[in-house]
Structure 1
Amino acid sequence: MNVDRLLIGRYLPGKTLIHRLDPRVKLVITLAFIFLTFFADNWQSNLLLFAFIFFCVLIAKIRFGFFLNGLRPMLWLIIFTVMMQVLFLTGGHLYWHWGWLTISQYGINSGIIVFLRFVLIIFISTLLTLTTSPTNLANGLSSLLKPLKFFHLPIDEISLMLALSLRFVPTLMDETGKIMNAQRARGVDFGEGNIFQQMRSLVPIFIPQFIASFNRADELATAMESRGYRGAAKRTKFNRLKFKVNDWIACLIFVFLIFAIYFLRK
């Protein structure tokens, strides 16, 4: 279990163009890109989306092998989802059939599309967190959700909760790796026995992880209260978000990408 390679939630400081973009622009582009992947139903549109991702990675000056290492912990989930598509969807030319399991042309095509969507979504989400600090993410979310204050929703608390959850994903995974190494040193084999025995071997991981998580949450709440944090109060911000020329150019490039995907679908 390569928990130490999970990149979602990690932040790599930098001064590249991608790092300097307004967090609201990056959040909107990321969400729109994820939505756009569901409209990419042929190799041309998927190739264009991958080219956009590679272009952003080059500008952010992040090694692409870094992304591949971060993809490995999700590989089994991706393979499982793809196999569900390949074995249970029918249509087109039938290649193999056994009972209620089939491998058909439509199932293979659907499996490939699902695989590409998974990779694209993981890459764009990882790029967002690698190039945006948790503070900027919280500020960007708070600014985008500000119209919902009309419905008396706690926008500041929601944005802070989402940013903190994203921030502590790598911390939790790092601690899980340490706990697993400690249990292995005590003779625990996580891959031994049937599925029920393997699930039982995970109990020594969950208990200390839950205790550590609750302790960290209590310490974090105490630290925030000692610094005078009040989510519902009118708070000023040290860094005010402002749109710059680079932000407008990024939005314009993404609009061109949307039109290109639309015409490639046609």
Structure 2
Amino acid sequence: MLDKMILGRFVPLQSFVHQLDPRMKMIFIFVMMILIFLMNNWQSYAAGIILIFIILKLSNLSFLFLFNGLKPILFLLIFTFLMHVFLTKGGTTLVDYGIINIQSQGIIMGIMISLRFVLIIFLTTIMTLTTSPIALTDAIEAILKPFKKLKLPVHELALMMSIALRFIPTLMDETQKVMKAQMSRGSDISAGTIKQRIKAVIPLLIPLFVSAFKCAEDLAIAMEVRGYKGDVGRTKYRKLDWHKNDTLSLLTLIPITLLILYLKQ
């Protein structure tokens, strides 16, 4: 399942979304995340789902490919749904057996909150799938550039965020390799009681941490031998270019925002 983790991966395709400026994508995603948190009924969520499909079509990405990326976090979605089902009260009582009391409002809220997480994950995943890590780093640095006046290490923060995002699929692949190596030696974390599974995870975590620190050390040495000293005296080989399509795409946030605000009423 871990090999299906697609967050942080980049798929080089030729599409409208791929060609957009990464700064525009980040601003668009940030505003859309705020709008998703404002959704409070089925009409507004339906508008968000339709928008996701439109963006998928413009990015030449398959919905099935994006949906498979949800499998590693399926447990979190189920847990979120069940928490609302059992703890949120209101509406018609559906199940009342001892300490178990399930009401209609709990199911509705569980579906809505889980759907909210799915929409946010889809948007952020589409951004990483259509934007290279280098472009993301440049976009973060450009957006945070005004904070340099406040002595904020903008370049270093952008670099750390980009490296963290880039190492997500790397660590997932390494975890998959360690799991297969452990299973070939007779260890299976998917079988046995909960206590046995927890014990089986410990031999998995130790080599994973060792591998992570080794990758971090190799990266630090590689940057040091190449004379990396932050953004002091650095020039950029790739420069971000803002085009007409970026402006038009950003302007679409106005009708989208008005639509969501209208539907949530």
Name the residue aligned to 2:43. Answer: 44
Q: Structure 1 stretches (4+) deviating beyond 3 angstroms?
A: 98-101
Q: Give the conservation status (yes or no) of the 8 Å contact 1:154–1:232.
A: no
Letter in structure 1 aligned against 2:154: I
Shift of 1:100: 4.2
Q: Give the conservation status (yes or no) of the 8 Å contact 1:175–1:209.
A: yes
Name the residue aligned to 2:55. Answer: 56
Local SS of the residue matching 1:38: helix
* Alpha-carbon displacement from aligned partner over 1:130-173 (angstroms, at most 9, x marks no partner): 00000000000001111111221111011000011001100100
Name the residue aligned to 2:211. Answer: 212
Shift of 1:229: 1.6
Name the residue aligned to 1:5. Answer: 4
Name the residue aligned to 1:88. Answer: 87
Name the residue aligned to 1:77. Answer: 76
Name the residue aligned to 2:185. Answer: 186
Name the residue aligned to 2:241. Answer: 242
Scaled by the length of structure 1, the TM-score of the pair is 0.96
Scaled by the length of structure 2, the TM-score of the pair is 0.97
Shift of 1:99: 4.2
Whole-Å separation in 2 of the counterparts to 1:248 and 1:265: 27
Shift of 1:17: 1.2
Q: What is the aligned length?
A: 265
Letter in structure 1 aligned against 2:107: I
* Alpha-carbon displacement from aligned partner over 1:179-212 (angstroms, at most 9, x marks no partner): 1011111110212332222111011111111111
Local SS of the residue matching 2:18: helix
Letter in structure 1 aligned against 2:88: L
Q: Give the conservation status (yes or no) of the 8 Å contact 1:87–1:102.
A: yes
Consecutive unaligned residues of structure 1, counting only runs of 5 or more, are none
Whole-Å separation in 1 of the counterparts to 2:152 and 2:100: 48
Shift of 1:102: 2.0
Q: Does residue 139 of structure 1 match 2:138?
A: yes
Q: Give the conservation status (yes or no) of the 8 Å contact 1:23–1:136.
A: yes
Name the residue aligned to 2:253. Answer: 254
* Alpha-carbon displacement from aligned partner over 1:67-110 (angstroms, at most 9, x marks no partner): 11111111111001110001101011111124443211211110
Q: Give the conservation status (yes or no) of the 8 Å contact 1:95–1:103.
A: yes
Whole-Å separation in 1 of the counterparts to 2:84 and 2:5: 25
Local SS of the residue matching 1:19: coil
Whole-Å separation in 2 of the counterparts to 1:183 and 1:15: 40
Consecutive unaligned residues of structure 2, counting only runs of 5 or more, are none
Q: Give the conservation status (yes or no) of the 8 Å contact 1:89–1:102.
A: no
* Alpha-carbon displacement from aligned partner over 1:197-245 (angstroms, at most 9, x marks no partner): 2111011111111111111111111111222221141422112223210
Whole-Å separation in 2 of the counterparts to 1:234 and 1:144: 20
Whole-Å separation in 1 of the counterparts to 2:179 and 2:72: 15
Q: Give the conservation status (yes or no) of the 8 Å contact 1:88–1:101.
A: no
Name the residue aligned to 1:116. Answer: 115
Shift of 1:39: 1.1
Percent identity between the two aligned chains: 41
Whole-Å separation in 2 of the counterparts to 1:261 and 1:19: 26
